[in-house]
Amino acid sequence: MDDNVSQPWGNHSNRMKTILFLILLPFSIFSQQDTIRDTIKVSLDNNINGAYTKFNNNTNIVNIGLVGDNSVSYKKFRLATTTNYTLSFKDIITANEFVEKTNVGYENLFLSHVYTNSFIRSIKNDNSFGIGYGHKFKISKVDLGLSYAILYQRTSYLNDTYIDIERNSFRVKIKYDSDFVGFFTEMYYQPSFKSMKNYIIYGNVKLVFLPKKKLNFILQDAINYISTNEVKMLHNLAFGVGYTFKN
């Protein structure tokens, strides 16, 4: 008799535990999702600019530019991309320049890839792969970042030739924000291991008006200098509109 009574009670107890588990499971999952969401940091900073000029001889010059600096970080991991694109045409296309840098990092170490193609320089594609170390500082309201990397670069040209080069890569990044105006610069100096006369300098300098607003106005200067190329300097000074988001 006792066995007949205890068995249904045991089944009921197990059933209640199962129901309680199913009730609490969604709250547990939701709580974990909140924790993950709170630790994932997203930073989006993109701007687009353009200029149009028409001369008396009916010549039209159009310049369009896009610059992006975006990142996602979770705990000690970080994925960051920097994009710089310029399109210019004067009746026909005169410039179609694209640079995309991607870094995957853990703490202060990172792997880097830079992809480039250039209409003006007849570069079909340029890929640089490397590993580096960086560190961030904060001095008052100024954010400062320094890094060094070793890169292997292969440049393929439209005439089906290519060049392999090993490079150093030194980077400095400075950022300052106030309520009305912000300043940002990120510059790279990349000399070859074999010759200091063979080097690349590229980066951006920009002033941001209303930097703490999601929509803001940008005055920027983008440069790309290759000492060994026939077209050594590419330079784009423009005014545009930016979008910023951070959580």
For 20, the enclosing helix (H) or strand (E) is helix 2-39
28 C-beta neighbours (distance < 10 Å), count: 10
Q: In the structure, what pLDDT confidence band is assigned to residue 133 with cuts at 50, 70 and 90? A: very high
Residue 63 CB contacts under 8 Å (≥ 6 apart), including other chains: 49, 50, 51, 52, 86, 87, 88, 236, 238
236 C-beta neighbours (distance < 10 Å), count: 22
Predicted pLDDT of residue 54: 65
Is the model's pLDDT at 94 over the cut of 90?
no
- Complete domains list, the chain, with CATH: 41-246 (2.40.230)
Q: What is the pLDDT of residues 12-33, one digit of tens each?
A: 555 555 544 544 455 444 444 4
Residue 160 CB contacts under 8 Å (≥ 6 apart), including other chains: none
Predicted pLDDT of residue 1: 46
Predicted pLDDT of residue 35: 45
How far from 242 is each of 11, 33, 110, 162, CA to CA, in Å? 63, 31, 28, 37
Residue 192 CB contacts under 8 Å (≥ 6 apart), including other chains: 165, 166, 167, 198, 199
Distance CA 8, CA 231 (A): 87
In this structure, are residues 61 and 91 in contact, taking their beta carbons and an 8 Å threshold? no
Q: In the structure, what pLDDT confidence band is assigned to residue 3 with cuts at 50, 70 and 90? A: very low
What is the token pair recorded at 93?
Answer: 């296309």
